[in-house]
Amino acid sequence: MNKLLNKYKLIGIGEFSHGIEESWKFRFDLLKYAIKNTNKKIFIFCEHSIWMGENIMNHTIYSTKLNKYIEYKGIKKENKVEGGSDGKTFFGHLWQYMAHSSESKIFLKIIKYIRKNKNRITFIGTDNDKLDRDYDAYKIIIKNYNSKNINFYWAHNHHVDDMEYSPDNMLYIENKKHKWFCGHYLKKFFKKNYCIILSQAYEGENRFNGYCKGKHCEKRTWQLKYIYKKFKYPELKKYVDKNKKYQMLKLFDEKLIGFSNSYYLENKYGVQSYTISKNWNFILFWNKVHRLEPVYEY
């Protein structure tokens, strides 16, 4: 871990699904290691809404009654809301701090740890709440980047990776010139100083918070309760090492399996995509992963 922190200026840690525990645990362990073994300040750029990051850092919440942000100590538990003003948004019990897809016991622990170490940790949301968001995320990271800090980027594999938008994304983005995920712009800027860590697993159980209908998720439906589905990716069995909890692979020659926060009804295991990626530094590989555990049951 020390070599990782010392060698790169920005470390992107991807998750192949928003619904598994292990990605967050690895990120949390690396964060705690950095606090314990270095004296540097740590910036975390995360695939969370910009205003959620500000609430985490500033001890604020958005008051629907007053229509403004107000100070609030502690963690505010809200009533779950299905359907925002657009009729599509879903808010969980902790929507002030995290998206419903990542609402979990472990991320709540991370929030508390960040607040406890605010003198050294800064958490910044990079999501402008639009599908056309990767170039803006890149600009937010560059604006706040400091080479003297340890800098992490936490997001889905796709956003961390140096790759083009999928047909799904190209259907909805406004600026067709920005056809790359955030990692592409970061790699172009930082070159070898940007470390891309993508995650993957042979088997496990995944958590979803909705359904996608159609090849490109033309229709998405949110659910009152989380959806739990098991998967097994046979092609990756050759990477399984029963003597290790996880591996940092430098050689990997299979397609990467990727899940959305919604279950793709027409696809095996609810897989969103199988992608070929070549510009990564490590594949963070688990034999088996576990579903992300919610803070509150619905």
Cα 65 to the center of its chain, rounded Å: 30
**84 C-beta neighbours (distance < 10 Å), count:** 11
Q: At 196, which helix (H) or strand (E)? A: strand 194-213
Q: Please report, to the nearest 10 degrees, the dihedral formed by the alpha carbons of residues 262, 268, 271, 273 taken in order.
A: -140
Contact (CB, 8 A) for 292 and 19: yes
Write the single-letter amino acid at 218.
Answer: E
- 189: which DSSP letter? H
Contact (CB, 8 A) for 43 and 122: yes
**Structure token digits, residue 24:** 């967050």
On whether the pTM is more than 0.75, the answer is yes
List the end-to-end C-alpha distance of the chain, in Å, as a whole number: 37
- 180: which DSSP letter? B
**Structure token digits, residue 140:** 């937010």
The pLDDT score that the predictor gives to residue 263 is: 95
Q: Which of 63, 27, 70, 74 is nearest to 48 (CA)?
A: 27
Cα separation, 140 vs 144, in Å, equals 6
The pLDDT score that the predictor gives to residue 166 is: 77
Contact (CB, 8 A) for 146 and 190: no
Q: Which of 263, 264, 256, 280 is nearest to 202 (CA)?
A: 256
Cα separation, 143 vs 43, in Å, equals 12
Each residue's pLDDT tens digit in the chain (298 positions)? 778 999 999 999 999 999 999 999 999 999 999 999 999 999 999 999 999 999 999 999 999 889 999 999 999 998 877 655 455 667 889 999 998 889 999 999 999 999 999 999 999 999 988 777 899 999 999 999 999 999 999 999 999 999 998 777 777 777 778 889 999 999 999 999 999 999 999 999 999 999 998 887 888 888 878 999 999 999 999 999 999 999 999 999 999 999 999 999 999 999 999 999 989 999 999 999 999 999 986 6
Contact (CB, 8 A) for 217 and 260: yes
The pLDDT score that the predictor gives to residue 173 is: 78
Q: Which of 210, 208, 125, 136 is nearest to 173 (CA)?
A: 136
